[in-house]
C-alpha cells in the first residue's frame, strides 16, 4: 500500500509546479528499478542475515521513504525531484527486502502451506493497492498532501516492533547451510527460464494495458469514471484471484498452472486490442484488460512452487534456495513492471494500439508453445 500512495496526487502537484511529464515518469520508474537492483543483492545477504531482520529493514526503509515525501513540498523544483528520487530508491530497497524475506519466511516456516500463504500474502498486497488511493484521497483532503505521508510513516514505525515481536527469530537458512553439501548457487535451467519469462510477460501485459487502455478508452469517448472502474477491475481481479488461490491449493497443484497464466494474459491482450477492434466492440476490450489481472495473479502464485519443484528434483535443498528463487521472482516482476510502461510509450510511436497488442499476443503464444514443447516435464 505504501508504495502506491504517490499515485493519486503526486503527479498533479508535480505538474502544478511545472515539472515535466518525463521527470514525473522517471520518479515512478525509480521504485521498481531500484527494487530490481536491490533484489539481486538481498538474496545473497539473506543467507547470513535473519529473514526477520531483513523484513524489518524493509519496513524501516518504507517508513523513511514516506517520511522523505513529507518534506518534498518545502524545496524548489530541483530539490523536489532529487528528494523524490532518493525516497523512491529507498522505497525500492524496502519493497525488495519485505518481499524476499516474507517469501523466504513463509517457505521455511510453513512449507506445507507455502502456496496458500504466499497467495494470501499477495492478496493482502492487492487489497493495499486498492486502498492506497482511497486513503491518499481522504488524508490529503482532511489533513494535507505532506500529512498523508507523515501519518502513514508513523503507522509503519509503530508496526515494526509489533512485527518483530510476533515473528520467529529462527533462521533455518543458516542452520541448513552449515550442513548441506549442495551449492546454494542455483543453476538457471530451461524450465526456470521459461517460468520466469512467463512471469515477466504477465506483469508486462498488465502494466502495459494500465496506461494504454486509459488512452485508448479516452480516445473512444469513454467516461473517466468508467476508465477508473476498468483499471480498478484489473487490480480487483488480481487480488481476488490470489485470495481464491490460497484456498484452491488444497485441491490442485498450483505449480502446474503456469501455462494457464500465460494463456489468460495472452487472451486478455488480444481481446483488448485486435479482437475488440475486429468486432468493433469496446466491451470486449474492457473484458480483455480486466482478465489480465487474473493471468498475472496465477503467474505469481505458480512460479515459485514450479521452480522449487524443478530444483529439488535436481538435488537442491528447498530451504537453501528459496531466498535465491524469491529474489529471482522479485527481479522478474520488477522487469515486467518496468517494461510494460516503457512499451506503452514506445509501441504507439510505431504502431497503433491494436497492432501493439497483437505483437504482445504473439509473444504470449510463443511462450505458451515453449512451455508445452520445450519445458522438461517433471
Confidence of residue 184 (pLDDT cuts 50, 70, 90): low
Question: Is the same domain home to 349 and 230?
Answer: yes
Cell of 65: 521513504
pLDDT score recorded for residue 180: 45
Looking at the domain assignment, is residue 60 inside a domain? yes
In tens, the pLDDT along 324-370 reads 888 888 889 989 988 988 888 788 888 889 999 999 999 999 999 99
State the Cα–Cα distance between residues 99 and 93, nearest whole angstrom.
10
Q: Which of these ranges, 1-15, 143-157, 278-292, 294-308, has the smallest mean pLDDT?
A: 1-15
Question: Is the same domain home to 119 and 231?
Answer: no
196 neighbors 303 (Cβ within 8 angstroms): yes
State the Cα–Cα distance between residues 305 and 160, nearest whole angstrom.
29
Question: Is the same domain home to 185 and 149?
Answer: no
Question: Is the same domain home to 133 and 194?
Answer: no
Question: Is the same domain home to 90 and 224?
Answer: no
Angle ∠(57,63,65) on CA atoms, nearest 5: 100
Range of the domain at 282: 180-373
Confidence of residue 4 (pLDDT cuts 50, 70, 90): low
> DSSP label at 274?
I
**pLDDT at residue 312 above 80?**
yes
Question: Is the same domain home to 32 and 161?
Answer: yes
pLDDT score recorded for residue 322: 75
pLDDT score recorded for residue 181: 43
% of the chain residues with pLDDT over 90: 25
pLDDT score recorded for residue 53: 84
- 84 or 255: whose pLDDT is higher? 84
- Mean pLDDT score of the chain, rounded to an integer? 83
DSSP 144-184: -HHHHHHHHHHHHHHHHHHHHHHS----HHHHHHHH--S-S
- 43 or 106: whose pLDDT is higher? 106
246 neighbors 116 (Cβ within 8 angstroms): yes
Q: Which of these ranges, 60-69, 72-81, 240-249, has the smallest mean pLDDT?
A: 240-249
> DSSP label at 376?
P
pLDDT score recorded for residue 134: 66
In tens, the pLDDT along 87-128 reads 999 998 998 888 888 887 887 777 777 778 877 887 887 777
**pLDDT at residue 56 above 50?**
yes
Cell of 376: 522438461
End-of-domain residue from the set 143, 178, 213? 178
pLDDT score recorded for residue 54: 86
CATH code of the domain containing 228: 1.20.1250.20
Angle ∠(153,157,161) on CA atoms, nearest 5: 160
Question: Is the same domain home to 88 and 219?
Answer: no
> DSSP label at 271?
I
Question: Is the same domain home to 224 and 267?
Answer: yes
Q: Residue holding cell 475488440?
A: 276
Question: Is the same domain home to 301 and 265?
Answer: yes
pLDDT score recorded for residue 3: 55
> What average pLDDT does the segment 292-313 reach?
88
pLDDT score recorded for residue 248: 81
Query: How many domains are contained in the chain?
Result: 2
Amino acid at each position: 500500500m505504501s508504495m502506491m500512495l504517490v499515485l493519486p496526487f503526486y503527479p498533479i502537484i508535480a505538474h502544478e509546479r511545472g515539472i515535466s511529464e518525463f521527470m514525473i515518469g522517471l520518479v515512478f520508474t525509480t521504485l521498481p528499478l531500484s527494487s530490481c537492483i536491490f533484489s539481486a543483492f538481498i538474496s545473497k545477504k539473506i543467507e547470513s542475515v535473519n529473514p526477520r531482520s531483513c523484513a524489518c529493514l524493509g519496513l524501516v526503509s518504507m517508513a523513511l521513504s514516506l517520511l522523505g515525501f513529507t518534506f518534498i513540498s518545502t524545496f524548489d523544483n530541483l530539490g523536489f525531484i532529487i528528494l523524490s528520487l532518493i525516497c523512491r530508491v529507498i522505497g525500492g530497497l524496502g519493497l525488495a527486502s519485505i518481499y524476499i524475506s516474507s517469501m523466504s519466511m513463509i517457505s521455511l516456516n510453513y512449507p506445507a502451506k507455502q502456496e496458500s500463504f504466499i497467495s494470501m500474502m499477495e492478496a493482502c498486497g492487492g487489497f493495499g493497492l486498492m486502498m492506497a488511493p482511497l486513503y491518499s484521497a481522504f488524508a490529503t483532503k482532511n489533513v494535507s498532501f505532506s500529512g498523508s505521508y507523515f501519518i502513514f510513516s508513523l503507522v509503519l514505525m509503530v508496526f515494526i516492533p509489533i512485527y518483530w515481536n510476533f515473528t520467529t527469530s529462527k533462521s533455518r537458512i543458516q542452520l541448513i547451510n552449515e550442513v548441506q553439501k549442495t551449492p546454494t548457487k542455483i543453476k538457471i535451467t530451461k524450465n526456470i527460464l521459461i517460468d520466469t519469462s512467463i512471469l515477466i510477460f504477465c506483469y508486462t501485459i498488465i502494466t502495459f494495458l494500465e496506461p494504454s487502455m486509459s488512452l485508448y478508452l479516452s480516445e473512444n469517448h469513454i467516461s473517466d469514471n468508467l476508465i477508473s472502474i476498468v483499471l480498478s477491475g484489473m487490480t480487483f481481479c488480481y487480488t481476488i484471484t490470489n485470495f481464491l488461490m490460497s484456498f484452491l491449493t488444497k485441491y490442485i497443484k498450483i505449480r502446474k498452472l503456469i501455462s494457464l497464466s500465460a494463456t489468460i494474459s495472452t487472451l486478455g491482450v488480444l481481446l483488448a486490442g485486435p479482437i475488440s477492434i475486429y468486432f468493433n466492440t469496446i466491451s470486449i476490450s474492457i473484458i480483455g484488460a480486466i482478465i489480465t489481472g487474473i493471468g498475472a495473479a496465477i503467474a505469481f502464485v505458480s512460479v515459485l512452487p514450479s521452480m522449487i519443484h524443478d530444483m529439488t528434483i535436481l538435488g537442491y535443498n528447498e530451504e537453501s534456495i528459496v531466498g535465491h528463487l524469491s529474489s529471482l521472482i522479485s527481479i522478474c516482476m520488477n522487469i515486467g513492471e518496468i517494461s510494460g510502461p516503457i512499451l506503452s510509450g514506445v509501441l504507439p510511436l510505431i504502431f497503433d494500439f491494436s497492432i501493439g497488442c497483437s505483437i504482445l499476443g504473439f509473444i504470449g503464444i510463443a511462450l505458451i508453445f515453449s512451455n508445452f514443447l520445450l519445458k522438461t516435464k517433471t
